[in-house]
Amino acid sequence: MDQLTRRSFLARTGAGALAAGAAGAALVTPRPAGAAAKVGEPAPAFTAASTSGGSVSLADQRGKIVVLEWTNHDCPYVRKHYESRNMQGLQKEATGQGIVWLSVISSAPGTQGHVSPGQANDLTTKRGAGPTAVLLDPTGAVGKMYGATNTPHMYVIDKAGMLMYAGAIDDRPTSRQSDVPGANNYVRAALQAVSAGQPVKTPATRAYGCTVKYA
């Protein structure tokens, strides 16, 4: 009788253990698709073609603060910041402090904002812009990695490669130039905080602007 009960008992516990194991395996819930780079986590690494020939890789910028600016020169919201010289001023301020400023164009060919390297360089000169480099991302791979939804969409990455700010350039989500002077510029605030080694007060905001014209 003992042997019988031992076998049946083992069978029962074995079945129970199997059920529990299967349940545990089934538990692994996948991260929802489309989860973009999150503030407080390492910024996704990428390499993209620059308009001056060659390519720029984020990993090479380790040790420097990096600003990513998604742009589309025809978008009224981008024009608001360029025509008011707000963006150029911010770029000069940043690059003057040794911060790397990368403007990224993720418009697909044939869509609003898509430019050739030559055209992009022309725009930079004409507008007096001062980014460290302008990157072309026509497939949208880099944009989707960062979850860039609008232009302008701004990201600030610290010297250790951690994403410290993601979102809008400031708190006035309009396309009116009159809204630039009084606005609270989130990027400037984030750069100041990151340079001083302090936590960023507003690390994530809703980016406003035109949608990125992905492929």
Q: Which residues bind another protein (CB under 8 A)?
A: 1-2, 5-6, 8-9, 12-13, 15-16, 19-20, 22-24, 26-29, 31-32, 34-36, 38-39, 74-76, 111-112, 144, 147, 149-150, 166-167, 173-175, 203-214
Q: Which is nearer to another protein, 168 or 191 (CB)?
A: 168
Backbone φ, ψ for residue 90 (5° rounding): -65, -40
- Rounded to whole angstroms, the Cα distance separating 105 from 68 reads 10
Q: How far is the CB of 19 from another protein (least distance, A)?
A: 6
Instruction: Give the list of residues 6+ apart from residue 53 with CB closer than 8 angstroms, or none.
Output: 117
Whether 116 contacts 147, CB under 8 Å: no
Q: Which is nearer to another protein, 32 or 54 (CB)?
A: 32
Q: Which is nearer to another protein, 54 or 118 (CB)?
A: 118
Q: How far is the CB of 50 from another protein (least distance, A)?
A: 24
Q: How far is the CB of 12 from another protein (least distance, A)?
A: 6
Q: Which is nearer to another protein, 60 or 83 (CB)?
A: 83
Q: How far is the CB of 13 from another protein (least distance, A)?
A: 4
Secondary element (H or E) of residue 133? strand 133-136
Q: How far is the CB of 92 from another protein (least distance, A)?
A: 26
Q: Which is nearer to another protein, 130 or 143 (CB)?
A: 143
Angle at 142 between CA 72 and CA 49, to 5 degrees: 80
Whether 172 contacts 179, CB under 8 Å: yes
- Listing DSSP states for 145-176 in one string gives HHT--EESEEEEE-TTSBEEEEE-SBS--SS-
Q: Which is nearer to another protein, 32 or 53 (CB)?
A: 32
Q: How far is the CB of 46 from another protein (least distance, A)?
A: 17
Whether 62 contacts 161, CB under 8 Å: yes
